[in-house]
Amino acid sequence: MRRAAGGAAHAQHGAPAAEAPARAARPERPQLGTTATFADDGTLFAVLVEGGHVLLHRSDDRGRSWHAPVRVNAEAEPISADGENRPKIVALPGGRLVVSWSRRLGRQYAGEVRIARSDDGGRSFSAPRVVHGDRQEIGHSFESLIVDRQGRLHVFWLDKRDGETARLAARPYRGSAVYFAVSDDGGASFHGETRLADHSCECCRIATALDVDGRPLVLWRHVFAPNERDHALASIAADGTPGAPVRATFDRWRVDGCPHHGPALAVTADGTRHAVWFNQRSGEDGAAAGGRVFHGRLAEGHVLAQRSVGGERAAHADIGAAGQQVAIVWKEFDGERTQLHAEIAVAPGAPFAHRRLAATERASDQPRVIRHGDALFAFWRTEADGLRLFPLSPDAASEPR
């Protein structure tokens, strides 16, 4: 459980070595946070962090082999690379790539969202730039990228500027805020820097998906008064105007801290909004029940067909859709190994078929669902086996490496 002050992820990886206690320390947990995506031509890209650099990996054969990595940022810098706050990548038409990451700053929990562009398929990158105009040494992190059907790039992130203003004025403020900016030129410039919502959770990833009309949808863990950490959903209009956030889940989880488990969102061709999320409910006697992964269809003001996914140790689920197909992946510790699981439904109303995909005894990243055309894949990075791709849908004619 993360403290309500936010940024325990920064605290874990960001302390200078000189501040380490003078005793035998546990080995540092590997920074395995990785994002993968397909370009239109089927090239698979993945970004991860090593030695203060964001590295771009490229595969032409769906992950069976990888080219030598390319450094996105030429100069090393402190970068967040855990599962919730990892580097991101999107592929735009014409071979252009945009990569983003959260750079840690000197002040505790402070950061800034940076991006770099490639116009040659990832062989070289522009110098990194900061997305937001607000340059206070406060929290700007947990960014998410999405490109709408008009080719506009949207960057969403968690931002502490309004909380900082409230703190200086001795006013209460719950959590962080969600901000976003829009680029019409593939990340060369941004406009807007608009506040989408006050009072988001501080350390949970932001989920995005395109609605059937091509507009971005945004789902995040919200801090509803006085302190219920359920989820909120909002859409962005064609002119960039944000819609009013609406409550999306109703587990009424009261916890004075950030669980570091963000949601995931996918929309099928018929407009159904599917989500997966993690919550922990309290029993009638007030005792906390075990945390679980849930899946449900989001409707206006309520959740349809909410159900638990996996067992009692299921965590860090992701979801994706292609046409009417829906796939869910998650990892789950069985007492000895971390198992990678998936569920796939191939049509509306069809049951979800369960598959066990892989397992590891060592550290692992959160799994992702990624898409190429009508095919869905699971992508998982582990300390032992590296980058792996698993076909999920019938159209994913590939074998895992």
3-state secondary structure of 254: strand
Q: Domain of residue 317: give its range.
A: 263-401
Same domain, residue pair 267 and 389: yes
Long-range pairs for 239-243 at CB < 8 Å and ≥24 separation? 240/182, 240/192, 240/194, 242/180, 242/194, 242/196, 242/197
- Assigned domain for 69 exists: yes
Nearest to 130 by CA among 86, 71, 193: 193
- pLDDT in the model for residue 280: 79
pLDDT (tens digit, 9 = 90+) per residue, 249-283? 999 988 877 788 999 999 999 999 999 999 976 54
Domain match, 39 and 156 both: yes
Dist. CA 96–CA 94, nearest whole Å: 6
**Do 179 and 298 belong to one domain?**
no
41 shares a domain with 160: yes
Number of domains forming the structure of the chain = 2
pLDDT digits (tens, 9 = 90+) for 154-189: 999 999 999 999 999 999 999 999 999 999 999 999
In a domain, 247, yes or no: no
CA–CA distance, 268 with 241 (Å, rounded to integer): 24
Nearest to 278 by CA among 292, 260, 257: 292
Chain-centre distance of CA 2, in angstroms?
Answer: 17
Cis peptide upstream of residue 226 (ω within 30 degrees of 0) = yes
Looking at the fold, whether 171 and 73 belong to one and the same domain comes out as yes
Q: Which CATH number does the domain housing residue 296 bear?
A: 2.120.10.10
Give a yes or no: residue 235 inside a domain.
no
How far is the C-alpha of 200 from the C-alpha of 359, rounded, in Å? 33
Q: Which of 153, 186, 204 is the last residue of a domain?
A: 204
* Domain edge (last residue) among 204, 227, 252: 204
Specify which residues 103 forms β-bridges with.
79, 112
Q: Are residues 270 and 200 in the same domain?
A: no
pLDDT by residue (tens digit) across 296-351? 999 988 899 999 999 999 999 999 999 999 999 999 999 999 999 999 999 988 99
Q: Is residue 100 part of a domain?
A: yes
